């Protein structure tokens, strides 16, 4: 079994929870409230801007010029393709400049991007690719899974088409093959470390749907919702 087949297997229970998450089900059948999708698009734009920077870090960590070049092209693609899509979605969803000015990354978006930086900064190129890979691979699988769906909401249809196509499949398999070549030249300890990064990213992908579905907020102790009601009798 290849290294990536092994880590994909290990992550399977977490990935299944993503496939079955109400956010994904809601995109597939068109019932996802637009408020949750708008929240997702704003947090995902933040995520993508950092994703491109981590891809660039991975490019810099390679000792092979061809790999550096390819990863730099991937970073450019994240900026040009994914961010352009988000800008278009922002217009269609009525995301205003004021919305953008008031934007704060959610706990999950902040934690996920921090995990990517940590893997890339503290590790070698394989650590960075292992952390980045679930982003490609999970979205590719979701794109394929949702291919036959035609939600009444056009923006959900367009989202599905972005990840279901062959272009995206090629990028995904390029990274899968890259990680397998790296794993062949790695020690068991390094492979265990890469698996750990992959599993943590898989968990954060699941948390990202949940974050958007629940419109996650930072806990604010001054927020009355989070303040203990001292008049309440216990026991
Ligand atoms: C949370 C989150 N995870 C993954 C993706 C998908 N994605 C982002 S960058 C990239 C690489 C190629 O452009 C892919 C597949 C996303 N949008 N948001």
> Which letter does DSSP use for residue 78 in this model?
I
Ligand 1 mean position, distance from CA 48 (Å): 7
Question: Token pair of 191, please?
Answer: 């492979």
Mean pLDDT computed over every residue of the chain = 93
Distance CA 145, CA 173 (A): 17
Question: What pLDDT, in 10s, does the model give residues 149-201?
Answer: 999 999 999 999 988 888 889 999 999 999 999 999 999 999 999 999 999 99
Encode 103-117: b = buried (16+ Cβ within 10 Å), e = exposed.
Answer: eebbebbbebbebbe
Answer whether 120's CB lies under 8 Å from 61's CB: yes
Overall average pLDDT of the 223-229 stretch: 51
> Smallest Cα–Cα separation from 169: which of 187, 142, 200, 151?
142
Answer whether 108's CB lies under 8 Å from 206's CB: no
Q: Which one of 74, 79, 136, 165 would you pick to mutate in the ligand 1 pocket, going by the greatest count of ligand atoms within 8 A of its CB?
A: 136
Domains defined along the chain, listed by start:
3-216 (1.20.910.10)
Output the pLDDT for position 221: 60
Model confidence, pTM: 0.92
Distance CA 182, CA 172 (A): 16
Output the pLDDT for position 81: 78
Output the pLDDT for position 227: 47
Q: Give the least confident one: 12-21, 68-77, 177-186, 219-228.
A: 219-228
Band the pLDDT of 82: cuts 50, 70, 90: confident
Residue of minimum CA distance from atom 13 in ligand 1 = 78
Percent of the chain with pLDDT over 70: 94
Output the pLDDT for position 223: 58
Distance CA 54, CA 117 (A): 6
Output the pLDDT for position 85: 81
> Smallest Cα–Cα separation from 62: which of 78, 77, 74, 79?
74
Percent of the chain with pLDDT over 90: 83
Q: Which one of 27, 41, 47, 51 would you pick to mutate in the ligand 1 pocket, going by the greatest count of ligand atoms within 8 A of its CB?
A: 51
Output the pLDDT for position 84: 82
> Measured between alpha carbons, how far is residue 116 from residues 47, 86, 120, 174, 200 in Å?
10, 21, 6, 19, 10
């Amino acid at each position: 079994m290849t290294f990536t087949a092994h880590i994909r297997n290990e992550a399977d229970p977490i990935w299944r929870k993503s496939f079955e998450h109400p956010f994904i089900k809601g995109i597939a059948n068109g019932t996802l409230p637009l408020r949750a999708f708008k929240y997702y698009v704003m947090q995902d734009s933040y995520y993508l801007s950092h994703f491109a920077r981590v891809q660039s870090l991975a490019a810099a960590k390679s000792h092979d010029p061809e790999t550096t070049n390819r990863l730099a092209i991937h970073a450019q693609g994240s900026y040009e393709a994914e961010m352009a899509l988000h800008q278009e979605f922002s217009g269609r969803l009525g995301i205003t400049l004021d919305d953008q000015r008031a934007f704060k990354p959610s706990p999950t978006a902040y934690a996920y991007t921090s995990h990517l930086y940590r893997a890339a900064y503290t590790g070698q190129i394989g650590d960075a690719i292992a952390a980045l890979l679930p982003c490609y691979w999970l979205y590719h699988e979701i794109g394929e899974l949702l291919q036959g769906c035609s939600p009444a909401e056009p923006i959900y249809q367009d989202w599905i088409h972005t990840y279901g196509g062959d272009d995206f499949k090629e990028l995904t398999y390029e990274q899968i093959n890259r990680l397998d070549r790296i794993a062949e030249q790695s020690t068991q300890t390094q492979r265990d470390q890469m698996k750990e990064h992959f599993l943590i990213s898989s968990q954060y992908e699941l948390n990202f749907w949940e974050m958007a579905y629940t419109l996650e907020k930072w806990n604010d102790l001054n927020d009355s919702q989070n303040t203990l009601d001292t008049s309440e009798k216990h026991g």
